Structure formats: C-alpha cells, structure tokens
C-alpha cells in the first residue's frame, strides 16, 4: 500500500500514487495505527482492498477492508 502510493520508483506507482491515491497520514507514520484501525489480516487468502476505488479517497480507515481475491475482482475500477 505505502510503496505503490508513495514510492515513485515502485512498478505500481503510476496506477496508484501517480493517479493521486494516498495513504492517510496516520498510517504513513505508524503501523500500529494501521493495525488498530484495520485489524489483523483474517487469513492468507485476504489482502487489503479499497472499498471505493473509483475515487481518490485512497487508503484510510473508512475506505479499506480485508477482502479475498474474488471480492476484489468484483471491485475493480471502471476503465
């Protein structure tokens, strides 16, 4: 999440940080804050997903969830 949004050298930066998608300041500074807000990953079948990915709201407590690949496939942005 942080790499693709903040690291201009990351392969996925253009699709995330380059489009204006950001990580909330609190999470940039503290993994403990992220963990408190989102909780531990439920299983290895889950990864972090933005609930509304058609906006630049980005990664913040009200816009993320743990989701399976199947859930994420149904939540792709319009092209």
Question: Is residue 47 a contact partner of residue 30, using CB atoms and an 8 Å limit?
Answer: no
Q: Distance between CA 18 and CA 32 in Å, rounded? A: 26
Residue 29 lies in a domain: yes
Q: Which domain holds residue 24?
A: 2-73
pLDDT for the residue numbered 5: 95
Residue 79 lies in a domain: no
Render pLDDT for 5-51 as a digit per residue (tens, 0 to 9): 999 999 999 999 999 999 999 999 999 999 999 999 999 999 999 99
Residue 78 lies in a domain: no
Residue 67 lies in a domain: yes
pLDDT for the residue numbered 58: 93
Partners of 23 in the β-ladder: 59
pLDDT for the residue numbered 50: 94
Residue 24 lies in a domain: yes
Using the predicted structure, report yes or no on whether residue 79 has a pLDDT greater than 50: no
Note the pTM of the prediction, 2 decimals. Answer: 0.82
Render pLDDT for 52-67 as a digit per residue (tens, 0 to 9): 887 778 999 999 999 9
- Give me 27's structure tokens: 């999470």
């Amino acid at each position: 999440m942080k790499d693709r949004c903040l690291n201009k050298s990351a392969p996925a930066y253009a699709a995330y940080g380059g489009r204006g998608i950001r990580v909330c300041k609190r999470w940039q500074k503290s993994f403990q804050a992220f963990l408190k807000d989102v909780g531990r990953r439920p299983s290895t079948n889950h990864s972090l997903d933005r609930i509304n990915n058609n906006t630049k709201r980005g990664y913040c407590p009200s816009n993320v969830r743990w989701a399976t690949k199947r859930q994420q496939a149904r939540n792709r942005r319009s092209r």
